[in-house]
Structure 1
Amino acid sequence: MPISIDEFESRGPEKGETNAERVVRFLARNQDTAYKAIEIAEATDINENSIHPVLNRLEERGLVRHREPYWAIGDLEKVRDAKMFSSTSQFLEDTLGSESREEWLTAAQNDEETRV
């Protein structure tokens, strides 16, 4: 059953979505507009204290652009590639299970010991 666009917009973030994913999704949907950080925080329901670190990390990766005081979506090809990488990583984690840092360190240590 279809819902109104107002209801759609009021539903908030998708389940399990990170702050970075919410920001990129919002800016990509509004790629013809640049926003102040506080406007992005309000539109994505992200805490004001968290929005700047998120935007700065996204800018470092070329996923958003910044011209004081405004932010806009970055290179759409990079955004698409990042989304594809994220989807692939999630699929592998769902299929094969989560990575364990401890297992990696143990395997590396065992490998090191067998070389000696």
Structure 2
Amino acid sequence: MPIDIDTFEGSSEDALGGGLTQPERVLSFLATHADQAFRPVEIAEKTDIPQNSINSVLRRLEEQALVRHKGEYWAITDDRDRLHSLTQYEFVTESLNDLYGEEDPAEWVEHMPATDTAEKTNDV
């Protein structure tokens, strides 16, 4: 169901169904069940991720050493330091966002110094 542009512009990501990303949902699920390993189809089912997406999500997480697998089964990494540093980063980011508000990339662009190319274009 579409929404009007004013609602779109005036609503936060969470209000519009942003929530956790697919990798975050997989990590959360696997961390909650750290004593078990699952097949991709089971992870997709439990995390509400389309089955045609789950393998690429798992591979990306494996490249980051956040999950591990044997045969058809996947589990959360056994590197507790790696998981701890990830959760600490997310906790700090969330705390800073709560304190100062989320960053708006458009604001960064407004305050970027002019590049040589932009300066040359303005001189023409």
1:30-65 per-position Cα deviation (integer Å, ceiling 9, x unaligned): 222221111111122222122122212211211101
- Give the 5 Å matches for 1:53-92: 53-74=56-77, 75-92=79-96
Indicate conservation of the 8 Å contact 1:26/1:44, yes or no.
yes
- Give the 5 Å matches for 1:4-83: 16-74=19-77, 75-83=79-87
Query: What residue identity is the alignment partner of 1:95?
Result: L
Give unmatched runs, 5+ long, in structure 1.
1-14
Query: What residue identity is the alignment partner of 1:39?
Result: E
- Give the 5 Å matches for 1:74-113: 74=77, 75-110=79-114
RMSD: 2.3
Number of aligned residue pairs: 99
TM-score normalised over the length of structure 1: 0.69
Displacement of 1:79 after TM fit?
1.4
Q: Give the percent of matched residue pairs that are identical in Structure 1 and Structure 2.
A: 41
Q: Which has the higher contact order (CA 8 A, sep 6+)?
A: 1
Of Structure 1 and Structure 2, the greater helix share is in 1
Rg comparison, structure with higher value: 2
- Cα separation, 1, equivalents of 2:24 and 2:64: 13
Query: What residue identity is the alignment partner of 1:65?
Result: R
Query: What residue identity is the alignment partner of 2:83?
Result: V
Indicate conservation of the 8 Å contact 1:63/1:76, yes or no.
no
- Cα separation, 1, equivalents of 2:52 and 2:97: 30
TM-score normalised over the length of structure 2: 0.66
Query: What residue identity is the alignment partner of 1:82?
Result: L
